[in-house]
Amino acid sequence: MSAAPSLPARRTPPGVFVALVLTLAIGWLVVTLDGGRLFSLPTTVSLLHVAAGLGLVAVGQTLVIVGGSLDLSVAYVVSLSTLVAAETMAGDDGALLPAICLALAASATIGLVNGLLVTTARINPFIATVGVGLLLKGYLDNGYDGPAGKTAPSLVQGLGYQRVGPVPLSFLLLLAVAAAAWFVLTRTRFGHHLIAVGGDPEVARLSGVRGTRVLVTAHVLCALCAGLAGVYLASRLGAGAPRVGTEGLYDLESIAAVVLGGTALAGGRGGVVGTVGGVLLLASIDAVFNQLEVDVFFSR
Amino acid sequence: MTALAVSTLLVLAGCATDEPTTGASGSPSAGSGSGTGKQSKFFVRSDYEEQLALLDAAPTGPPGKPWEQALDPAMVETAKFRKPGPYKICFSNAGLNNPWRQVGFKTMQAEVDTHRGRISEFVHVDAEGKDQKQIADINDLLGKGCHALIVSPNTTATLTPAVKAACEKGLPVIVFDRGVDTNCPVTFINPIGGYGFGHVAAEFVTRKTKRGGKVLALRILPGVDVLETRWSAAKVAFDKAGVDVVGVEFTDGDPARTKKIVNDYIQRYGTIDGVWMDAGAVAGAAVEAFEDAGKPVPPINGEDQLDFLKLWKDKKLTAIAPTYPTYQWRTPIIAALRILDGERVPNPWKLPQPTITQDNLDEYVDPEMPPLHYAMCGCTDLPGYPKRWK
Amino acid sequence: MRIARPRRLLTFRSGGLAPIVVILAVLLVLLTARQPDFLSPPSLMSFLGRSAPVVLLAAGQYFVIVSGELDLSVGSLVTAQVVVAARLIDGDPSAGWPVGVLLLAFGITVGLVNGLVTTRLRVPSFITTLGMFLILVGAVYLWSDGAPKGGLSEGFRRLGRSAFEDVPVLGRIPYALVVLLAAAALALALTRSDFGRTLVAVGGNPRTAELSGVRVWRAKTMAFVLSGLAATLAAVLIGGYSGVSFQAGAGLEFGAITAAVLGGVALGGGRGSVVGAMLGALTLETLFTLMNFYGVSGALRPTVQGAIILFAVAAASFRFPSR
Amino acid sequence: MSGLPPSPLLALRGIGKSFLGVRVLDGVDLQVRPGEVHAVVGENGAGKSTLMKVVSGVHQPDEGTVEFAGAPRTFRTPREAQQAGIGTVHQELTLLPERTVAENVWLGREPLRRGLVDRRAMLSHTARLLASIGEGSLPPGTRVGRLGVAQQQVVEIVKALALDARLLVMDEPTAALADHEVDQLYALVRRLQEHGIGVLYVSHRLKEVFDLSSRITVLKDGRAVATLDTADTGADQLVRHMVGRELSSYYPDLARPQELGPVRLTVRCAGNRKLRGIDLRLRAGEVLGVGGLQGSGRSALARALFGAAPFSTGHVSVDGAPVRLRSPRAAMRAGIAYVSEDRKGEGIVAEQSVLDNALLAARAVRAVHPGRGGRGARTARVRELLAAVDLRAAGEDQEIRYLSGGNQQKAVLARWLALAPRILLFDEPTRGIDVGAKSAIHDLVRRLARDGAAVLMVSSELPELLGMSDRVIVMRDGRIAGELAAGATEEDVIALAVGTVGEAAG
């Protein structure tokens, strides 16, 4: 399952950051030749916003993937969380905190279900989380006919649109969450045990690690991150959106970001730093293409 | 949240509870009333009444050019936006992901072509149907030195903050097709709207269906405001006339699904006497379902898409095609130029919304145009017609 | 060899056909209770005809699943085929056959790529086929600028839409049903052939298969090709049934997987029958029709599918290639 | 054994353990003193591994007591044994290659400071432990995957020591080591000894046992037959304790000289990662036994001949014609068949029917030889074969997993016979098979040889090896250590296998 010991494997792969710099450099060149600007303030802000949404999901995804599992239900969790948050707020600043707590609690519950299906019911994580995703999809399709609820104005102004220089508040939130996740992975027993379970569950067991508990926790944390992304999107959209998660392809893109960041899909290797790099890379590619796709008719 | 889910369930379950219980023969008892369920939460009575009134209103503006006409216009001052040309006009587009939008966008491009001297640059960004992307797109466009910003929002609620932010930048914002929940844009352009569409179609189906006949309502998606208003107006009309609506179903715009649904209903009720549709995209599939089942096609409404019009003509259907005209894509360009000239423009800018009936069908059926083309494009006088639209 | 007991036709062992037959029977009883003439020939024929594409896809998916893999690309392949066909034919009746051949080649190619990437490059199949899914969706979107162009000719559509009329007793038999029966017979013959049996062995125990001289990579690649072919046939039927649309194949991959799992095909490979998978698809279609007749929202379909997948998989002691 | 100066660290008394009614351990007594290296030796299946697992808490004994540090203990999990101070170095490495030495050593009990993992303490503790056993040059922050196998073994040992282990159980610690690495391990074990740590050392290699241990306990058939002071014991004496069982079972007659045919298989100077300098000739009508310890290369030889783990060097010819056995298919084309030692993992497809299992190989290669008889004829032939091997099942459609081991093996045999192979490779053909079926398979093997096939049979069961083989070769360290003619004794085989006899043929 894991690579042969002789294979050269990098510890923190700088590869994704090299790719990021190259992408930005080439992208800048191409966009400039195309007559656009890649690093204008609005473009940078947009890039960081895209990175914030995807990043929050991807950081959570990193945790489960490092643990040798996977979560394909995140896109629906994101959508659900925007709805729970926006509907509980109903445009009232006073309901801000309970709404966020409720959204996160709903997300965590789904994470718990995912975790239990994967560990206790021993269902392959891919199948289990797709199954849970389909359950949620049905609930959302059936229960919602479009945007619902109204995000508290203070959240829209704050998390949604406030920024420090070119850096949106939401990106700072991502950095904070990523730092926390990095801290958890490297500085807590849970983190060490999670990586061990991902690397080889049997070795972890022989070393006295309680694999089930660790993996369930990882799934809950992953869903919490997706829930947080949902709260952010609710702040950005001003309402709950039942299809925002799937439209944004958060399930697949988050996995892509994690893998680009050097985390092995089989688990046991990788980390959050690479994931943030992967997220920035995807967001940059997105930004470059967006600039290139801007149709300009009879420009001189 | 749960309350909403439950209420939606009830709406849908409503079709079941009201539906006549099947006897041993399987034929339901007739005319027990309307199965239209609860009214949509999108329904606003004042808007509804306003739109129905507009249906009969006489437009002001140049005759024969409905895209420049306005119904019941209230003009707003735009002097503060006055600038010397040529202009850079930017357009944040919700998407190009259906034929209606494609035809519309081609029409808009052609309109831009007619103003070559006055528009130096026309920048278009496609949000691919994603709210998130459109928010970012609008934000991006703000940094591109546009003289005017045209927005066709992907959804009303979620795009409102972004449009507000754009207004605050001080450039004229023009919204069309779907609206936003703010008055900050200089003008909001759209045809009469969904209530009008739904009402016209429902009236027709009611009139043509025999008394006590069973009507099936086919909808594309829930939650899209334009479509919700169409249905809610139809619901009012059906309820008023006491039409037996045996089912309200969502087709997802998927012809296969449509055929299956219609097929199920034909089996279930033996016959369906009228079909109401909130959009024309799958009207062809619905007609086919009747043909394939060997049943006569009942009175039905479609839209101004050519495949349906051709079918209508060839099969001599009893049909009507209210429209949501694609010529409205011309108007934002015209409006932008007027605003930048400091001319007054109507706000809201209500465009007339013609209906294709048996009487004027032949004017719109053009066998040379592709099946997915929309006849009410107002584009026959534009440069590049018809090649550009093929 | 000494035989102690007579063999039973329908055994209740895992992977047997009995459970799905029972479920289908129960659903049919419920359906008939609600709609007594559902089983009358015209209604039944049309139901079978329109269910043909999903049943075909379930049969295709059977081969892939029983070999221990998954094919998530079939839905997008169906959409791609329909959109491509419409654009190439563009109403021209003479283009039907050449385009049909082209579609077959395209379906085979997609299956080959799926298979070779999975077996030779050792990429887990769900990643491979998910990638294929994304590529096809993206490519179709780019190629058609976001909305389908052109149209299918009446001739091309006949297979999915028309029927043998005035057949005694049955009334009209949709061509789609005939295609389905032919394909089902072929699939059944395949599962009983050397290839079909070794494929099950490959899914059940690839080491044993390899050490018995089976070229595991070839067998699995063939399974993917069969799935691609099934998707092509399904695309022709769906396109014929309802014309060109971007939604033509949406969600069909999960439908096919759910159907196979429901029909007793074990995810992870090595167990199940193609008849079970096809009956599973029929059961799923019956269930959806039933839901419709009882006024349950169609939006709940994914929930039903998700629940079926979770229950079926949790119930079977579940193995999956961990790579 | 009497008058132990220091009180024992570990005392096992009357340990018994059965699995599914098979008695694996029977009244085993064993004591380890602090600072003592106590070796446990015995044939394959003598119960060594089970005994080690009892000590390390993986298995619980059915009877008898475990005393550790003077108090009776029951270990329900490995963790409980670890907490008591018993560390285990497993036969296979249990390390995470992607993690650092320190992270591996402290896995599951990372030192905490204010609730967080104290990485500095982790590194410094590891460095101290490494230094204490003279491995101070190994940086604790290195990724384990970058280390050689010997260094990984050191990490494994440090991981056990980090528990403050007072007893270390080492199960075949040299299995994966090269010669110079073994020396390092010796030094390490001796230093542990100096620290007063008791070591329970399991090994096949008598040289190591004599080099390291102070006492040796010999297990045979689940009983401790002797505990000897190493200094007073010679290799011959030890081997005699290990073997010496009456040959009670019946074996078919060996081949008469006139039954031996021409040379079927010739291997010259062949080798791969696990094998070196293999030369052998196999004649038609002959059963060639292959003996040797686990990991000596006896299974690797069979797998190389079948192309499952092919030779990378050397020449092979079948019936005089050179062949390249690059894959099982290539070997099958050359007329070779192979019955794996791992019946469940490599022999059967558990959920397929008996008939499908028996037809598997014929179906697989049919593509190569199309049109060789119709399908019906082939199935009929396999049915005949199933009858010929006397397979007993509820029906040919019964899933093979419900059959006994012996019947499963018969189905596997029928699968190969359907191809009419000229060379048959058996790896442990009767492992896990009951006595009755065993002799049936022995008869079958002999019958095949008599019908002209050349048979190579790997067996770790000495009576079987000697009872069945016309000739025996014994493997050691990937080479053929020597060849024995029919009539050789178990001592002869063991001596060659463990290397007490000089490198006679190696």
CB-nearest partner of C307 from A123, A133, A135: A135
Pick B1's closest partner by Cβ from A87, A146, A297.
A87
Quote the CA–CA distance of C150 and B371 in Å, as a whole number: 8
Judge whether C299 is closer than 8 Å to chain B, CB to CB.
Answer: yes
Mean pLDDT, chain C, rounded, equals 86
- Other C-beta atoms closer than 10 Å to the C-beta of A77 total 35
Yes or no, beta carbons of C306 and A121 under 8 Å apart: no
User: What pLDDT digit, counting tens, does each position of C249-289 carry?
Assistant: 888 998 899 899 889 888 888 889 999 999 999 999 998 88
Give residues 178 to 237 of C whose Cβ lies within 8 Å of B. none
Query: Partners of B150 in the beta sheet?
Result: B91, B174
Contact residues on chain B for A147, CB-CB shorter than 8 A: 155-158, 223
* Structural tokens at position B165: 């932010």
Are residues B203 and B235 in contact, defined by beta-carbon separation less than 8 angstroms? no
Q: Which among A37, A46, A298 has CB closest to B136?
A: A46
Q: What is the 3-state secondary structure (H, E, C) of chain A?
A: CCCCCCCCCCCCCCHHHHHHHHHHHHHHHHHHHCCCCCCCHHHHHHHHHHHHHHHHHHHHHHHHHHCCCCCCCHHHHHHHHHHHHHHHHCCCHHHHHHHHHHHHHHHHHHHHHHHHHHHCCCCCHHHHHHHHHHHHHHHHHHHCCCCECCCCHHHHHHHHHCEECCEEHHHHHHHHHHHHHHHHHHHCHHHHHHHHHHHCHHHHHHCCCCHHHHHHHHHHHHHHHHHHHHHHHHHHHCCECCCHHHHCCHHHHHHHHHHHCCCCCCCCCCCHHHHHHHHHHHHHHHHHHHHHHCEEECCC
DSSP classification of residue B326? G
Burial (0-12, 13-18, 19+ Cβ within 10 Å), D2: exposed
**Phi and psi of C199, rounded to 5°?**
-60, -40
Residue A37 domain-assigned?
Answer: no
Rounded (5°) CA angle A135-A85-A111: 40
D270: β partners: D278
Largest Cα–Cα distance in chain A?
A: 70
In this complex, which chains have at least 3 CB pairs below 8 Å with chain D? A, C
Low-confidence ranges of chain B (pLDDT < 50): 1-33
The span from the CA of A131 to the CA of A140, in Å, is 14
Residues of chain A with pLDDT under 50: 1-11, 299-300
B86 prior amide bond cis, ω within 30 = yes
Cα dihedral value A17, A18, A21, A25, nearest 10:
-160
- pLDDT at residue C13, rounded to an integer: 45
Give the gap in angstroms from C-alpha C80 to the nearest C-alpha of chain B. 15
- Asked if residue B11 is part of any domain, the answer here is no
β-pairing, D336-339 vs D423-427, is: parallel
Burial of A295: CB neighbours in 10 Å, binned 0-12, 13-18, 19+:
middle
Contacts of A117 in chain C (CB under 8 A): 310, 314
Q: Is the dihedral of CA D319, D322, D328, D330 positive or negative?
A: negative
Which tokens belong to D33?
């003193």
Query: What per-residue confidence (pLDDT) applies to C10?
Result: 37
The 10s digit of each residue's pLDDT in D95-110 is 898 899 999 999 888 8
Q: How many CB pairs under 8 A join B and C?
A: 101
Cα-based angle B380, B386, B387 (whole degrees, multiple of 5): 150
The answer, for B158 touching chain C at a CB cutoff of 8 Å, is: no
Nearest by CB to D332, which of C13, C209, C213?
Answer: C213
pLDDT at C182: 96
Chain A residues with CB within 8 Å of chain D CB = 2-3, 5, 7, 9, 11, 186-189, 191-193, 195-196, 199-200, 202-204, 206-209, 264, 268-269
Shortest CB distance from A53 goes to which of B129, B132, B156? B132
Residue A90: inside a domain: yes
D–B contact (≥3 CB pairs within 8 Å)?
Answer: no
pLDDT digit string, tens, across residues C55-73: 999 999 999 999 999 999 9
Please, which residues have CB within 8 angstroms of residue B123's CB and are 6 or more apart in sequence?
Answer: A294, A295, A296, A297, B88, B89, B90, B91, B141, B144, B146
Instruction: Give the span between the Cα atoms of B151 and B159, in whole angstroms.
Output: 10
φ, ψ (nearest 5 deg) of residue B356 = -90, 125
Report the number of distinct structural domains present in chain C: 1
- Which chain D residues are within 8 Å of A268, Cβ to Cβ? 96, 98
In a domain, B104, yes or no: yes
Of B102, B255, B268, the CB nearest to C35: B268
Nearest CA in chain D to C192: D356
Task: Please report the DSSP string for B123-154 in residue order.
Answer: EEEE-TT-HHHHHHHHHHHHTTT-SEEEEE-S
The per-residue pLDDT for C170 is 80
Non-local CB neighbours of A118 within 8 Å, separated by 6+ positions: A69, A124, A125, A128, A129, A215, A216, A219
In-domain check, residue A25 = no
CB atoms within 10 A of CB C55: 29
Q: How far apart are CA A42 and CA A61, in angstroms?
A: 28
ipTM over 0.85: no
Q: Which domain holds residue B299?
A: 194-322
Same domain membership, residue B200 and residue B318: yes
pLDDT tens, position by position, C101-112? 999 999 999 999
Strands, sheet with B300-301, edge to edge from the N-terminal-most edge strand: B244-250, B214-219, B274-277, B300-301, B319-322, B355-356
pLDDT digit string (tens) for D301-316? 999 999 999 999 999 9
What is the structure's pLDDT at A13?
55
Residues of C in contact with D347 (CB under 8 A): 208
Chain A hits for D107, CB-CB cut-off 8 Å, are 192-193, 196, 203-204, 207, 209
Q: Could you tell me if A252 lies within 8 Å of chain C, comparing CB atoms?
A: yes
Quickly count: other Cβ atoms within 10 Å of residue B170's Cβ. 9
Dihedral pair phi/psi, residue C320, rounded to 5°: -150, 140
* Torsion (CA) D340, D345, D347, D353 in degrees, nearest 10: 170
**Is residue B100 domain-resident?**
yes
Q: Would you call C4 an interface residue with chain A, using a CB distance cutoff of 8 Å?
A: no
Tokens 């949620």, located at residue: A136
Restricting to B residues 49-78, those with a Cβ less than 8 Å away from any Cβ of C are: none
Decide if B53 is inside a domain: no
Task: Please check whether residues B218 and B313 belong to one and the same domain.
Answer: yes
Residue C310 forms part of a structural domain: no
User: Which burial class, exposed, middle or buried, applies to D250 when counting CB atoms under 10 A from its CB (0-12, 13-18, 19+)?
Assistant: exposed
Has residue A45 been placed in a domain?
Answer: no
Parent domain of A77:
50-287
B 54-113 residues inside an 8 A Cβ radius of A: 109, 112
A130–C contact, CB cutoff 8 A: yes
User: How far away is chain A from the Cα of B212, in angstroms, using its nearest Cα?
Assistant: 31
| Residues on C contacting D at a C-beta cutoff of 8 Å | 1-7, 13, 15, 194, 197-198, 200-201, 204-205, 207-215, 270-271
Residues B89 and B103 in one domain: yes
In a domain, C119, yes or no: yes
Between CA D211 and CA D394 the distance in angstroms is 55
> Edge to edge, what strands does the sheet with D336-339 contain?
D336-339, D423-427, D454-458, D287-292, D471-476, D479-485
Contact flag A252-C134 (C-beta cutoff 8 Å)? yes
pLDDT the model gives residue D245: 54
Per-residue pLDDT, B214: 92
Nearest chain C residue to A73 by CA: give it. Answer: C306
| Statement to judge: residues B199 and B304 lie in one domain | yes
Q: Decide if C30 is inside a domain.
A: no
Asked if D107 and A199 come within 8 Å (Cβ–Cβ), the reply is no
Q: State yes or no: chains B and A have 3 or more CB pairs below 8 A.
A: yes
Q: Residue D388, class by beta-carbon neighbours within 10 Å (0-12 exposed, 13-18 middle, 19+ buried)?
A: middle
Residue A254 has a pLDDT of 93
Amino acid at residue number B343: E
Helices vs strands, H then E, count in chain C: 13, 3
pTM to 2 decimal places: 0.81
Q: What are the chain D neighbours of A13 within 8 Å (beta carbons)? A: none
Q: Which two tokens stand for residue C312?
A: 């079926």
Number of domains comprising chain B: 2
Q: What is the pLDDT of residue D270?
A: 95
Q: How far is A247 from chain D (nearest CA, A)?
A: 36
Nearest CB partner across the interface for D346, out of C3, C197, C208: C208
Q: What residue has token string 């360009």?
A: B333
% of chain C with per-residue pLDDT over 70: 91
Q: CB distance D110–A11 less than 8 Å?
A: no
B64 found inside a domain: no
CATH number, domain with residue B186: 3.40.50.2300
pLDDT for position D21: 67
Please state the φ and ψ torsions of residue C310, each to the nearest 5 degrees.
Answer: -60, -45
Residue stretches of chain D with pLDDT short of 70: 1-6, 20-21, 44-45, 91-92, 175-180, 244-249, 366-373, 501-506
- Do A195 and D152 lie within an 8 Å CB cutoff? no
Which residue of B9, B96, B260 is in closest CB contact with C50? Answer: B260
* Number of domains chain A contains: 1
Same domain for B198 and B267, yes or no, is yes
Q: Considering only alpha carbons, which residue of chain A is nearest residue D89?
A: A206
Q: Å from B15 to nearest chain C CA?
A: 6
> Which of D338, D341, D360, D404 to probe by mutation at the C interface, max C CB count within 10 Å?
D360
| Whole-number Cα distances in Å, B93 to B123, B125, B135, B174, C185 | 10, 6, 11, 12, 50
**How far apart are the CA of A191 and the nearest CA of chain B, in angstroms?**
33
Domain membership of residue C167 as a residue range: 55-285
Q: Is residue B17 part of a domain?
A: no
A285 and C CB contact within 8 Å: no
Q: Among residues D387, D390, D410, D389, which one has the least CA distance to residue D400?
A: D410
Confidence at C8, pLDDT banded by 50, 70, 90: very low
Are B315 and B282 in a shared domain? yes
Between the two ends of chain C, the Cα-to-Cα distance in Å is 39
- Residue found by looking up tokens 């926390």 in the block: A180
CA–CA separation, B127 vs B151, rounded Å?
11
